[in-house]
Structure 1
Amino acid sequence: MWKVRLLALLMTALALPAAAQSPADLKPTPPAQVPAASEAPASAPAPASTLTKADVDTWLDGYMPYALQTGDIAGAVVVVVKDGQVLTQRGFGYADVKEKKPVDPAGTLFRPGSISKLFTWTAVMQQVQAGKLDLDRDVNDYLDYKIPPAFGKPITLRHIMTHTPGFEETAKYLLLTDPKLAKPLGEAMKRWVPTRIYAPGQIPAYSNYGASMAGYIVERVSGEPFAQYIQNHIFTPLGMQHSTFVQPLPANLAGGMSKGYEQASKDPQPFEIIDMSPAGALSATGADMAQFMIAHLAHGGPLLDKATAEQMYANANTPYPGLPAMGLGFYHEDRNGHRIVGHGGDTDVFHSDLHLFIDDGVGLYMSFNSAGREAAAHVLREHVFVDFTDRYFPQPKPELPTAPTAKEHAQVMAGHYVSSRGSETNFMRLFSLLGEAQIVANDDDTITVSALLDAARVPKRWREVGPWLWQDAEGKERLAAVVKDGKVVMFSIGAYAPIIEFVPAPGSLNAGWITPVMAVALGVLALTALSWPVVALVRRRYRYNPGITGRTLILHRATRAAAWLVLVFVLGWGLMLSVINHGVDALDGRLDIWMRLMQLVLLATIAGTVAAAWNAYDIATRGGRRPWTTAWAVLVALSLVFFVWAAINVKLLTATLNF
């Protein structure tokens, strides 16, 4: 559900300024016609393997055990369905490493994370089908609290199901380990309504809050608590007897729950509680997930009528021609000429994917109970999907020529970008600065994107095969850009395009200049702070009295104290980020007091900055000072001013601690 290691937070929880363009302004420049496979030389694919239980099992047996071992992943479940039947369901590794308890696909529960949203979206469409919900009606009509007006447009369920309601990201209380902190769904939703930073329908920005609000709307219009609604209207009709949204787990299911691990070689983590449960609280066995896939592959099965189900799979928002679209809740992952819809999911320790080859009657589900070494589970699940598709649904890959605009467009693309999924009003704006992506134009007219790595953790090279359309070296992924008046508005790759975009970093968040200036400023302030006691000791040792008294002495000391406060502030936030990196459950309010303490330190630093500016002015206007002394005083003052601006700019000083 959430990218919960700090590196992943820096990659995906980045903020954008509230944009002002209308949907028409964001209309992408149409890409040039890319030659079809029949019009360009193509590399012949390997012959398609027959999709049988024997073949899939043999393939998985040669794939999974070694991958789990080398990735330090404790266990996994993989399920394949075909033509309304379970083709195979396999458990690999351990549900409990210490007890050597193997994963049982029929009895071991995993946490599918954001795949839970597919159950929420299905519930919404059931209520649409029943005439109780309208996808294009203001959601405020269904709520017992109000979404504040913004941009002159209401939010609708269609916006929410396409991740275009415009909410900034939320993180506080999303994942808990203490059941006492959990709130009923309605209370969780009303804790804080995130700010709307985009106009509805404008820019896709994945939103857990939006999905949870949809679940709360289902609860209100149905008159049933959300978890009970899913039990009555999805689990029971499908015979999913080992699935629940209840947290902590009911006694009859708790014994089957897999342990969750950061790595198999480390101790297991506590059971994760998702406070906004419709976004990711599901616990389920692989066998039960098979029944959910079978129902949707039957165009809704017993859950939805065919017309309603097809609305979910049809293209509802296409940010880029040439890249997959967003359905209603499902996002497209189309490959090799096949229509594929699905969803991924992450908690802190569980990592999952579900893929439906909607016109082929085939479904693939996998879940891992560990992130693994260097996030190995993320790489593994991507490769399982791609290799499964290429094995059973191969397609010739045309050898596309490099576009004649490659050099020019690579230079236009070069720069710093932030993710549309982020925050503007709280400290998570810091992640935009720390984790933004940089595009570099290479000498061979390709581009590299710092945030898009291959399995070896090396940035991929992207070759332009049509105007504003790039392909990676393996021909397995595409990248596209929306360009207006010769400037990049946003770009993404096929895997992200329906839900997350990258947009040019504004000057106030551009690490290209902020990072080096910050490095110089911190260096100056560190030297100033550390030299203060050293100089004092030397003066005492040699009984030297510089003759500084009165206001001059006060300003001198206040400047040095401000430098020390900066070091305390940086250390304090560094420690808090380290705690968050250990587990996002730390964002359950326990850090609030430390955030407030750091804000007090920052306020004191602001006062010290005023003193430093006064000190620099005093030294510069007072005669008899050496030029070096004046220059250093000015440099220290400027460093403090820049640091204070940067801290306020990334919202490390706020009236509230909502995020």
Structure 2
Amino acid sequence: MPADSTSTSPDFDPAELKSALDGVHRAGIPGVYAEVRDAGRTWRGASGVADVSTGRPVRPDMRQRVGSITKTFTAAAVMQQVEQGRIRLDAPIGDYLPQLVPGERGRKITVRMLLNHTSGIPDHIRYAFPSLQNMSPASLDANRFRQFHPEELIEMGLAAPPAGEPGATPGVYSNTGYEILGRLLEKVTGTSAEEYITRNVIERAGLRHTGFPAGPRIQGPHSRMYEALWGLIDPPRDYSVYNMSWVMMGAGLVSTTEDLNRFYAKLLDGKIVNRSSLAQMQRTIPVIALDGSTIEYGLGLHKVGIEGCGTFWGHDGTAWGAGTMSLTRADGERQMSVAINLMRWSRPDSSGKARHHPIEEALRTLYGQALCDDGNAQVPSGT
């Protein structure tokens, strides 16, 4: 059976799915791979290369840095502790971590606000990578092997001007909040957040190729990961070897498209958290994402509505050079996980806005085909 395309379902149209993958590759992504599930049937495919220098082909089973998809895992771990009575969603974070989040903020910001990005604590990334504020990629290379400590990142966020008042909507997306949640998990469980999530979320879901990396290298088959940084890095540079300590609780996981589909299927079926917790996770508010778009966000979950196709739950994620999208229809029957190995490909125009690029349209076509059997489906922007 070919490595780049497999199907166990006569009802899928493998040719259309493979054509959509090829379209993303032709538009400029070196390598793209995906798994689509429908009512227990599975299709996997890949197009392009994992290494532009050698021409090594990308494969559907490759591991990927999945970025902010990690947030769903962290949120599920927190909700497990809510179920056990060790964490109260609407309790001030200062009740648990008074020295980490002191003073008025500690009294006003609740656990829920950290989960749904309404804490008002700004994202720390621009301070961990200061050259980004001057449109320079220098910090990316300077931080490649740097070991950040969570408290260091949290202090960066707390020291910056607030992004808003605690509890105000729309929320403002913040990786810093998830670093705080990692410290909260450590406080109430007596073990590291990585260990707790591994044992109680990843292993409970039966995931075989998902985990927090022990160092800067990914174990197992994976692609190189090419970062263009809006044209500042030309040609795009491989950042597949990278210490993810700068955002571990919010974006540090490595996984596969197969594992991601399995995880979201289990989560939405009440197998990772109970139905009451899942209902809390699916209570959404508008949140301003890091790219400036507005998304419907719950507790570690995105809500994506596609007209004529349904409501989907999941998350997207990026790391330097890697992009991943995983969505599952509300009934759990249709799933899609897609991985690409090039990020921030669009150069800005004279006003500083990202120019439209054929890659965006090709990805929309792929998402529409994968989720709705319709490459023309109106998949909202921001996905």
Short-chain TM bin: 0.7 to 0.9
In the TM superposition, residue 362 of structure 1 has moved relative to its aligned partner by 1.7
- Alignment correspondent of 1:163: 117
Q: Distance in 1 between matches of 2:268 and 2:335?
A: 8
Structure 1 pair 184/318, CA: closer, same or farther in 2 (3 Å)? closer
Question: Paired residue for 1:359, among 317, 331, 339?
Answer: 331
Unaligned 5+ segments in structure 2 are 1-7, 130-138, 229-233, 288-293, 347-356
Which residue pairs with 1:123 in the alignment?
Answer: 77
The question of whether the paired residues in 2 share the 8 Å contact of 1:176 and 1:273 is answered with no
Q: Tell me by how many angstroms 1:179 deviates.
A: 5.8
Q: Residues 144 and 81 from structure 1, CA distance in 2 versus in 1: closer, same or farther, beyond 3 angstroms?
A: farther
Matched residue SS, 1:228:
helix
Larger RCO (CA within 8 A; separation ≥ 6): 2
- Tell me which of 213, 232, 251 is aligned to 1:246: 213
1:87 matched to 2:56: no
Per-residue deviation, 1:361: 2.2
1:114 aligns with 2:39: no
In 1, distance between residues paired with 2:113 and 2:198?
A: 26
Q: Structure 1 residue runs of 4+, over 6 Å off?
A: none
For residues 10 and 220 of structure 2, the distance between their equivalents in structure 1, rounded to whole angstroms, comes to: 29
Q: Which among 243, 263, 272 is matched to residue 292 of structure 1?
A: 263
* 1:358-386 alpha-carbon deviations (Å, 9 max, x no partner): 12522211110113753655544344224
1:40-81 Cα distance to aligned partner (Å, 9 max, x none): xxxxxxxxxxx956524221111112320231x121221122
Corresponding residue to 1:278 among 242, 249, 271: 249
Of the three residues 224, 228, 242, the one matched with 1:259 is 224
Q: Which amino acid aligns with 2:275?
A: K
Q: Would the alpha carbon gap of residues 110 and 124 (structure 1) be closer, same or farther in structure 2, given more than 3 Å must change?
A: same
Taking the TM superposition and a 5 Å limit, the aligned residue runs for 1:75-224 are 75-83=31-39, 85=40, 87-106=42-61, 108-143=62-97, 145-149=99-103, 154-170=108-124, 171-173=126-128, 178=143, 180-190=145-155, 193=158, 194-203=160-169, 204-224=171-191
Match of 2:277 among 294, 299, 308: 308
Q: 2:366 aligns with which of 384, 395, 406?
A: 384
* Separation in 2, partners of 1:180, 1:268: 14
Partner Cα separation in structure 2 for residue 286 and residue 382 of structure 1: 18
For these two proteins, the number of residue pairs brought into alignment is 341
**What amino acid sits opposite 1:304 in the alignment?**
V
Offset of residue 340 of structure 1: 1.6
Asked if 2 retains the 8 angstrom alpha-carbon contact of 1:80 and 1:364, the reply is yes
Contact 1:242–1:288 (8 Å) recurs in 2 = yes
- C-alpha spacing 1:97/1:179, structure 2 compared with 1 (3 Å): closer
Gaps of 5+ in 1: 1-50, 395-473, 478-493, 498-659
Question: Structure 2: how far apart are the matches of 1:176 and 1:145?
Answer: 31
In 1: Cα distance, 2:149 partner to 2:13 partner:
42
CA distance in 2, matches of 1:283, 1:360: 23
Q: Equivalent residue of 1:230, what SS?
A: helix
RMSD: 3.3
User: In the aligned structure 2, how far is the partner of 1:383 from the partner of 1:183?
Assistant: 38
Q: Deviations over 1:219-269 (max 9, x none)?
A: 22112212222211122222322222124257xx52423211136975533
Which amino acid letter does the alignment assign opposite residue 26 of structure 2?
A: Q
Which of 269, 292, 307 is the aligned partner of 1:336?
307
AA matched with 1:167: I
Q: Percentage identity across aligned positions? A: 23
CA contact (8 A) 2:258 2:337 kept: no
- In structure 1, give the amino acid aligned to 2:298: G
Matched residue type, 2:86: K
TM-score, normalised relative to structure 2: 0.77
More helix as a share of residues = 1
Deviation for aligned residue 1:148: 4.6
What aligned pairs does 1:561-572 form with structure 2 within 5 A after superposition?
none
Is the CA contact (8 Å cut-off) linking 1:136 and 1:156 kept in structure 2? yes
Q: Is the 8 A contact 1:150 1:196 kept in 2?
A: no
Contact 2:144 2:241 in 1 (8 A): no
* 62 and 233 in structure 1: CA distance in 2 versus 1, 3 angstrom threshold: same
Deviation string for 1:373-418 (max 9, x for gaps)? 53655544344224444436x9xxxxxxxxxxxxxxxxxxxxxxxx
Query: In 1, Cα distance between the equivalents of 2:299 and 2:187?
Result: 21
Alpha-carbon distance between aligned partners in 2 of 1:74 and 1:358, rounded to the nearest angstrom: 32
Query: Which residue number corresponds to residue 317 of structure 1?
Result: 285
- Do the aligned partners of residues 146 and 70 (structure 1) sit closer, same or farther apart at CA in structure 2, a change above 3 Å counting? closer
Question: Given residue 344 of structure 1, which amino acid in structure 2 is its aligned partner?
Answer: D
Give 1:94 deviation, angstroms: 2.1
C-alpha contact (below 8 Å) 1:354/1:365 kept by paired residues: yes
The 5 A counterparts of 1:511-526 are none
Q: Contact (CA 8 Å) 2:163, 2:172: kept in 1 or not? A: no
SS at match of 1:181: coil
Corresponding residue number in structure 2 for 1:593: none
For normalisation by structure 1, the TM-score amounts to 0.47
What's the secondary structure of 2:307's corresponding residue? coil
| CA distance in 2 between partners of 1:231 and 1:151 (Å) | 30
AA paired with 1:76? Answer: V
CA contact (8 A) 2:97 2:184 kept: yes
